[in-house]
Amino acid sequence: MADEKKFLVALDAGGTMTDTFLVDEVGGFSLGKALTDKQDESQSYMESVSDAAKYAKLSAHQIHERAVGVTYAGTTMLNILLTSTGAKVGLLATKGFQYTPHLERGLTWLGLSYEDTMHMALLQHTPWLVDINNVRPVAERIKGPTWYPGCHIPPGTAVVPLREADVRKGVEELLDAGVEVIAIVFIHSYENPVHEQRAAEIAKEIVKERGLDIPVVASYEICPIAFETQRMKSVLVECYAGRKTANQLFKVEAAAKADGYKHELQTLLSYGATANIRYPRIYEAIVSGPTGGLLGSKELMGKLKGVDNLVCTDLGGTTFDMGLITKGMLPINMEPSFCGHKLSLPMLAIDSIGAGTGTVIHVDEQLKLIHLGPESAGSDVGTCYRYPDITIGDIDLILGYLNPDYFLGGAVKLNKQAALEALEERLARPLGQELYDVSGKVLDLLHTGMKNHLTSTLLSKGLNSADYTLIAYGGSGPLHMWGLVEDMDLAGVVTCPWAAAFSAYGVAAADYFHRYQKSILCVLPAGQPGEVWLYMAQGLNAAWQELKERAYQELEGEGYPREKVSFKYGIYARYLGQMVSWEAPVEKSTVETPEDVQNLVNAFEKAYTTIYPVAARMPEMGYAITAVYCEAIVERIKPAIARYPLKGAKPLENAYKGQRDVYHRGWMKFDIWEMDRLEAGNRIDGPAIIEHPMTTLVIPPENYVEFDEHKLISYRRK
């Protein structure tokens, strides 16, 4: 009975929309949407939940009372960085490195399109996270590690003692300047944090003496990882946006509780875990793009269908995002770039290009060239709605793929006539082409761009598309899926009825765990006996122990006793001389015998060769382990996916909505179906279009789709 049902609530707040995925314990779900309120996310949170509740024939209050968990992936962090509205940060840096955050390695092109990157005059430094006047130098130096073990001063040696006077002076001055938070980042502190620790003590004393409430954040605590620029940026993002973000999350939690929710709010971390919003390193809640989508794909396809090689694609109004799940492993990028900042934190690797229904079409009349993007109409769709320029959305409309009266379930009326005129005048005529034919070919361009992106991402990892199943989601995923996968060699193609809010579903499906990492340099020279390697690897034990201890403490803080915590371990390693390290999961967190070390090396080689051709191996150069990590996991309730009784291939009469003329490389009639009325077991043959209030699935003549027992939709060739 409905009123007994318990619910899981998950939200994915993007720059424009906040999506809700609401699911009961038997897998009955409904979706909600609301415009994101960037000033006060608790507002859009409530609206979106109410919207979903409506479809479930309940009130937000009833949902909250029966919710066993609410997870909210917010957008505050992104918004603060985009609008430069973060905290006033003070930074204590190793003397000589005060300008590191401003020089930022010259990485001025992060996040720019290929065209923009090539156009030198456009390159400009990212807005500062810390004012150049709020940095104070501290004389000190820890010696870093080297590739030549035993040839030079041991790593971690303090070659210049900490000048405490510099610390005192710096902190006093920064407090006088009125900073709201103090960051401490010293060179090679990941190797030996003793100077940062002492500096933090001093800073905290002074803050206390002054009776202030000003956090002091040292890099060794939140990001003990090599590379000073990235480490500094990571600490600065935490300081700049951390507190504000936490406050927004607490606001959302308060709103939920005020409406009857009895538990604590959880949020999504960049590496795809959920965590209680009391998590100490909230800057890890930076969520780049639709992280939820990968988690959803893993849960759905992995757990349900046992498919563990996935190409996860998300097509929205503005970007085409894709992530690869190989052998069930979520792809982690240790050096992601975010809003023009390169960071050292684990983030799900999602590659984006500017492509979507909002993508603007440029026509170069002189040279008869067509350029797509980089601008996008986003939710303004195109000339058919609220945008001045012609877009892909306009084309989707005039070719008949989109239904002008059923966009967002009819909430938005699209003006087909306006699109026709604009495309004729700005696309067809300048190129001297027939309107519908050239429009169709512009879609081919979009799809080719997406394919290039997809294949280069696969190939750049030495992977073969034939081993991968593609899953398409996002508002426009099903609409362009046909073009994306056309003549691609894939193991399968799948989408689902809740594609439009798939990321929110993924948020609900995420595991609860924390990931901890530490840089370390353990060099294993080629051709040395196992005993030498064992000696070289001794540092690993302590590092792992340290990480585990921190995990236990933090999880206790979030209400999980030690016995509830289980661990996964891994290393980052490379062949000596290489400039990049690769992640490799390992069995245990101790090295006691030469075999243990050999196992680490084997684990690395295994990971390396799953990603790269065996030809790329270079064992003759020896190995280096550059970091260790562990994941501390606790149990969490997952959304159930309903299993429906399989009906016949033939859909119910009332699912049929008639026919529409569609220009699909020539005019033809497409059958139109209503997504929500189709049942498990149904088969729909192309040419057909399946409409849903939030998305549209296009099936060309030579294809058909089948709904399985979970209403997952498999797209196949006839």
Query: Which residues, 73 to 112, sit near another protein by CB under 8 A?
Result: 95-100, 103, 105-109
Min dist. Cβ of residue 251 to another protein (A): 30
Please compute, for residue 622, the number of CA atoms within 13 A of its CA located in the half-sphere on the CB side.
18
Applying CB under 8 A, which of residues 433, 598, 609, 714 lies at the interface with another protein? 433
Please compute, for residue 112, the number of CA atoms within 13 A of its CA located in the half-sphere on the CB side.
17
Cβ-based neighbours of 653, under 8 Å, separated by 6 or more: none
Asked if residues 279 and 266 have their Cβ atoms less than 8 Å apart, the reply is no
Task: Please state, in angstroms and rounded to a whole number, the distance separating the CA atoms of residues 663 and 434.
Answer: 12
Burial class (CB in 10 A: 0-12, 13-18, 19+), 375: middle
Min dist. Cβ of residue 335 to another protein (A): 10
Applying CB under 8 A, which of residues 559, 561, 613, 619 lies at the interface with another protein? 613
- The candidate with the shortest Cα–Cα distance to 384, out of 342, 424, 356, 414, is 414
Q: What is the largest CA-CA distance in the chain?
A: 82
Applying CB under 8 A, which of residues 40, 205, 405, 444 lies at the interface with another protein? 444
Q: Which is nearer to another protein, 459 or 646 (CB)?
A: 459
Q: Which is nearer to another protein, 20 or 465 (CB)?
A: 465
Please give the single-letter amino acid code of residue 690. I
Candidates 60-68, 142-150, 586-594, 697-705; binding stretch for another protein (CB under 8 A):
142-150
For residue 654, state whether it binds another protein (rule: CB under 8 A): no
Applying CB under 8 A, which of residues 4, 57, 120, 653 lies at the interface with another protein? 120
Interaction with another protein in 210-229: which residues (CB under 8 A)?
226-229
Applying CB under 8 A, which of residues 35, 68, 118, 652 lies at the interface with another protein? 118
Interaction with another protein in 489-548: which residues (CB under 8 A)?
521
Asked if residues 88 and 135 have their Cβ atoms less than 8 Å apart, the reply is no
81 in the Ramachandran plot: left (φ > 0), alpha (ψ -120 to 50) or beta? alpha
Applying CB under 8 A, which of residues 456, 464, 528, 538 lies at the interface with another protein? 456
Min dist. Cβ of residue 401 to another protein (A): 17
For residue 150, state whether it binds another protein (rule: CB under 8 A): yes
Q: Which is nearer to another protein, 63 or 183 (CB)?
A: 183
**Tokens read off for 370:** 């067509």
Q: Which is nearer to another protein, 559 or 613 (CB)?
A: 613
Q: How many CB atoms lie within 10 A of CB 223?
A: 29
Min dist. Cβ of residue 140 to another protein (A): 8
For residue 116, state whether it binds another protein (rule: CB under 8 A): yes
For residue 368, state whether it binds another protein (rule: CB under 8 A): yes
Candidates 4-12, 270-278, 440-448, 678-686; binding stretch for another protein (CB under 8 A):
440-448
- Residue with structure tokens 């409409």? 691
For residue 418, state whether it binds another protein (rule: CB under 8 A): no
Min dist. Cβ of residue 279 to another protein (A): 27
Cβ-based neighbours of 152, under 8 Å, separated by 6 or more: 146
Min dist. Cβ of residue 216 to another protein (A): 22
Applying CB under 8 A, which of residues 27, 28, 111, 137 lies at the interface with another protein? 137
| List of long-range contacts for 38-42, beta carbons under 8 Å, 24+ apart | 38/75, 38/76, 38/79, 40/251, 41/13, 41/74, 41/75, 41/76, 41/248, 41/251, 41/252, 42/248, 42/251, 42/252, 42/254, 42/255
395 in the Ramachandran plot: left (φ > 0), alpha (ψ -120 to 50) or beta? alpha
Query: What x-and-dash track marks residues 385-404 binding another protein by CB under 8 A?
Result: ----xx--------------
How distant is the alpha carbon of residue 514 from its chain centre? Answer: 16
For residue 610, state whether it binds another protein (rule: CB under 8 A): no
Applying CB under 8 A, which of residues 44, 71, 219, 230 lies at the interface with another protein? 230
Interaction with another protein in 546-605: which residues (CB under 8 A)?
577-580
For residue 615, state whether it binds another protein (rule: CB under 8 A): yes
Please give the single-letter amino acid code of residue 63. I
Min dist. Cβ of residue 226 to another protein (A): 5
For residue 178, state whether it binds another protein (rule: CB under 8 A): no
For residue 208, state whether it binds another protein (rule: CB under 8 A): no
Min dist. Cβ of residue 173 to another protein (A): 9
Task: Please state, in angstroms and rounded to a whole number, the distance separating the CA atoms of residues 453 and 432.
Answer: 30
String of DSSP letters for 270-321: TTSEEEETT-S-GGGG---S-HHHHHHHIIIIIIIH----EEEEEE-SSEEE
For residue 411, state whether it binds another protein (rule: CB under 8 A): no
Interaction with another protein in 325-364: which residues (CB under 8 A)?
360-364
Total residues contacting another protein (rule CB under 8 A)?
98
3-state secondary structure of 473: strand
Q: Which is nearer to another protein, 389 or 583 (CB)?
A: 389
Q: Are strands 319-325 and 332-333 parallel, antiparallel or unpaired?
A: unpaired
For residue 198, state whether it binds another protein (rule: CB under 8 A): no
For residue 294, state whether it binds another protein (rule: CB under 8 A): no
Applying CB under 8 A, which of residues 26, 153, 212, 466 lies at the interface with another protein? 153
Task: Please state, in angstroms and rounded to a whole number, the distance separating the CA atoms of residues 696 and 420.
Answer: 20
For residue 367, state whether it binds another protein (rule: CB under 8 A): yes
3-state secondary structure of 334: coil
At how many degrees (to 10) do helices 228-258 and 76-83 cross? 120
Q: Which is nearer to another protein, 30 or 344 (CB)?
A: 344
Q: 678: which DSSP letter?
A: -
Candidates 276-284, 432-440, 527-535, 680-688; binding stretch for another protein (CB under 8 A):
432-440
